[in-house]
Chain A
Amino acid sequence: MSSSLASFLQMLFNGLSLGATLALIAVGLTMVFGVLRVVNFSHGVLFMFGAYTTYFVVEVLGQGYFTALVVAAVVVASISAALGATVFRRFEGLLLEGAIAGILLALLLENVALVWFGASPKSVAGPFTDVVAIGGVYLEGHRILIIAVAIVLVTALHLFVTRTRYGRALRAAQQDSFAARSQGIAVPRMLIMTFAIGGALAGAAGALVAPQQVLLPSMGQPPLLLAFVIVIVGGMGSVKGSLIAAGAIGLLQSGISTYWVPEAAVWSSFAVALCFLAFRPQGVFGNA
């Protein structure tokens, strides 16, 4: 295999695994926006808590990685649901105040993490350390795991919202909370469920990323930034849009890092978001 083809395939693979992580974060962000019209700036902190929970379960309690993955999803889902129920539901429809409340929560929780876990970086051992090399393309076992878990979780979410009563009620609440309310749907409960689902996905994303990077209280910021770009490009509130945009932004990041300089990756993604906000604020699939 020629080296340029190999580096192209490597770029695709890395981009997809990054996109898979970002998709898990962005879906929660866009769902919360859909039901509450609030941009949740504290969503990155949930991701960070997912990673630290994994650290705690694996390195401190000595349990297996997959146990930690489940625990992280459950713990972070509970945190997210609690934040939704106590803080965010007061800011329904208030874009500005809701965004500020989210920023404040992020600041608060990040500093709680700083005081609690300390500023020294932590690391977690992953279950798969093998690297499969096929013709110059290195497929890390852990990246394959990330892609696989993301596909399973997104499929499960899809089945839940299309096949179950609760899922349909959730979609109704997201499309028109007033109409849903008048149909007898308990919108506040749907709202808390949305936060729980978003939290579970973000917690899982944190657990998935934990073996790949060092853990710091501020680790939620970079992926949150990219998740914003994804939500804007995919259309605020559109889950399908975010999934596709997550893949695209993952590939864009990976492509720019491979063929240009890694420093350009973040700002070029945001330049894309700026253009969307200025010329097509409803995104690719949104109707906001």
Chain B
Amino acid sequence: MPNSARLSRSGRPRQWGKISAALGLLAGITFGLTAGEYYLNVGVLAFLSLIMAISLRLLMLAGEAALCHGAFYAFGAYTTGILTTQHGMPFWLTVSLGGLVAACGALIIGVSSFRTSGSYFLLMTFAFLIVASSIIESWTSLTGGFSGIVGIPSPGGVDSLADWYWLMLVLAALVFLVFLFIESSRWGLELKALGQSRELAQSIGISPGPNMLVAFTVGAFFAGVAGSFYASYVSFIAPSSFSFWLSVYVLMYVIIGGSRYLVGTVVGTFVLAVIPVLTDWSEGYVGIFTAAITLLILMAVPNGIVTALAHRFGSQTAAATLRRRVHPGVRSHRDAAQDAPTRDPESRTDAILRLSGVSKNFGGLQALDNVSFSVRPGETLGIIGPNGAGKTTLFNLISGFDAPSGGTIEFGERRLETLRPARVVRYGLTRTFQHSSVFGELSAFENLVVACRGRRTGLLHCLQPVQRDRAALAEAQSLLERFDMEAWAETAAEDLPYGARKRLGVAIGMATKPRMLFLDEPMAGLTDPEVQEMTELLRDLDRSGETTIVLIEHRMSAVTSLCDRLVVLDFGRVIADGTPNDVLNDPQVVEAYLGGSLEGFEHV
């Protein structure tokens, strides 16, 4: 099976997506040919809602939401209103300006929010919405205040309601296609990865800040464009057209369909924007219907209706695949690796990673105290110590997830103390996580494809459709085979059995082609045969000479058989550093860690 086919198969709903999108378009055309004036108006407003909802998607794919798309819509509408009525500018010119004004708004709020962790982004967008709408209300000389702007012209040639309907249908279809293209590009996949696990995404080199900022700004641009068309369509705008609830509704359209699939957003918009109008209910009942149905969906299927349906069918295909492939293929690469000559310890060159005097305080707690050691290329280093000894903190400092309070970390010629995680990966140092080890909703294959980022980061490369990224696909495929994941290729990572998920975590790390790979408890929770298998895998990795492995691990049998050297941490200090044999016979280690006997150690 060609790799690109595998990608689209992993997203089997995409086939359904194409069919339902075509059906939707057909329905839209039929509707336009048959509907009367009243319903055409409903249709035009529904298309505008749809564009708004789609424009929020990129941000939501990346795991954030905004409450200010109504403000961006208003920015576009007022830009068009002001420029056409007060400055006589032609409508089509004001459309792109409307989008740009909205995008600038997004840049301002995004830069100030994503600069930090962005944890209160939602509140920030909410505050921005309030400030923006109050300014529109009070800047009477520009916006007309509460009385608004009247007499906004239609674009030339668009005279009747039917004309508007077809124009909006074409526009909505175009926006749909643009976002379909973006979402199936490498960048779209990276946004999804960010939405699944921000930590893991960083550890494969995707920086959250810039990506979220661009996703937010691009979305705002389209919301502004929609606003421009809205202003021209209704020809009269006032602050009351852009209430808080507008932003809320847009968010709900995406939520109830589910942000995973573009078609979900279309379904969500239809359910919430069209059904209530068609039923001819009074305002109060529309609100009750919308709120109740969305709340129920949010509580029952948090990922949205369409995502839930797709997941259901998706896992059935995966199960079928599994049955066909229950016997894994021949492990040829391993047999070859077994014959590879082991490197002579004497030939090892100088250390590539050097820590000197590294400390870390959390308030009054000294998590790491003056830690110094180094790692030479090709050796396998184990870091052991009781729980709370500071092992994971140490990994966080080295990989850039946290900054040391003191000391230096040198990797080759570079200093790592102040670098962000995405930069550390680019220099060739990758870490895995004990807990958020995979991107849950992506298939195993997609997990690997997104991690095979290569060194190219240009715009064209980012927007290239994933299916055409042959290098990444081939690499992901070879990693699948190498880590014995063939049978699980199309399974969503969160549905993988535990052992396979652990292997996938290591494979994701390898996909970044690290010179040094830090593994945080790759064997925690595995059964004994699985530990055996993982040990073999890591030994093969080591022998292949592609990377240098540093691992935190409690399974002593694995640690002693894999590692050339052990560093023992206790209460944030290095209490021993040497060959496994020496270290485990060190009385201090035995006292501090082994509790006086080697027996219980085996089963920690």
Write the residues of chain A forming the contact surface with B, with a CB cutoff of 8 angstroms: 39, 87, 90, 95-97, 99-101, 103-105, 107-108, 110-112, 114-115, 221, 225, 228-229, 232, 261, 263-264, 266-267, 270-271, 273-274, 277-278, 281
Contact = CB atoms under 8 A, between A and B. Distances in A.
Nearest to A225: B130
A277 B123 contact: yes
Contact of B290 (A107, A225, A267): A107
Contacts of A105: 291, 295
B287 A96 contact: no
Q: How large is the interface on B (under 10, 10 to 19, 20 to 34, 35 or more residues)?
A: 35 or more
Interface of B: 64-65, 112-113, 115-116, 119-120, 122-124, 126-128, 130-131, 134-135, 137-138, 244-245, 248, 251-252, 255, 282-288, 290-292, 294-295, 298-299, 302
Given A111-B284, A115-B285, A232-B123, A100 B292 contact: no
Most buried by A among B123, B127, B244, B284: B127
A267 B130 contact: yes
Contacts of B255: 100
Given A100-B298, A261-B138, A277-B120, A267 B131 contact: yes
18 contacts: A87-B295, A90-B299, A95-B119, A97-B302, A100-B65, A104-B252, A107-B245, A110-B287, A111-B284, A111-B287, A114-B284, A115-B285, A115-B288, A263-B134, A270-B134, A273-B127, A277-B127, A281-B116
B287 A107 contact: yes
Contacts of B112: 278
B291 A96 contact: no
A103 B115 CA distance: 27
B134 A115 contact: no
A103 B284 contact: no
Contacts of A261: 138
Contacts of B282: 115
Nearest to B295: A104
B252 to A, nearest CB: 8
B131 A274 contact: yes
Most buried by B among A95, A107, A229: A107
A267 B134 contact: yes
Contact of A228 (B113, B123, B248): B123
B298 A104 contact: yes
Nearest to A115: B284
Nearest to B290: A107
Contact of B248 (A103, A111, A115): A103
A115 B245 CA distance: 18
B113 A96 contact: no
B278 to A, nearest CB: 18
A277 B113 contact: yes
B74 to A, nearest CB: 14
B63 to A, nearest CB: 8
Contacts of B123: 39, 99, 228, 232, 277
Given A100-B298, A267-B130, A274-B128, A114 B283 contact: yes
B130 A270 contact: yes
A253 B115 CA distance: 30
A221 B123 CA distance: 15
Nearest to B288: A111
A278 B119 CA distance: 11
A162 B416 CA distance: 47
Contacts of B120: 95, 232, 277, 281
A115 B126 CA distance: 27
B126 A228 contact: yes
B137 A263 contact: yes
Contacts of B291: 104-105, 107-108, 111
- Ordered nearest first, which 10 A-B pairs have the shortest CB separation? A267-B134, A111-B287, A108-B291, A107-B291, A115-B284, A278-B112, A114-B284, A104-B295, A263-B138, A270-B130
Contact of A97 (B126, B248, B298): B298
Given A108-B292, A111-B285, A87 B122 contact: no
Nearest to B112: A278
Contacts of B299: 87, 90, 101
Contacts of B137: 263
Nearest to A265: B134
A114 B288 CA distance: 10
A110 to B, nearest CB: 7
A114 B295 contact: no
Contacts of B283: 111, 114
A270 B127 contact: yes
Nearest to A231: B123
Nearest to A103: B248
Contact of B122 (A99, A114, A274): A99
A97 B288 CA distance: 19
B551 to A, nearest CB: 29
A108 B119 contact: no
A273 B113 CA distance: 13
B152 to A, nearest CB: 24
A46 to B, nearest CB: 16
Contacts of A39: 122-123
Contacts of B251: 100
A264 B138 contact: yes
Contacts of A228: 123, 126-127
Contacts of A277: 113, 120, 123-124, 127
Nearest to B135: A267
Contacts of B64: 96
Contact of A266 (B115, B122, B130, B287): B130
Nearest to B285: A115
B287 A101 contact: no
Nearest to B126: A228
Contacts of B65: 96, 100
Contacts of A281: 116, 119-120
Contacts of B128: 274
A274 B287 contact: no
Contacts of B113: 277-278
A87 B296 CA distance: 10
Nearest to B117: A281
Contacts of B298: 97, 100-101, 104
Contacts of A114: 283-284, 287
B316 to A, nearest CB: 28
B215 to A, nearest CB: 15
Nearest to B251: A100
A266 B115 CA distance: 26
Contacts of B285: 111, 115
A114 B283 CA distance: 9
B80 to A, nearest CB: 23
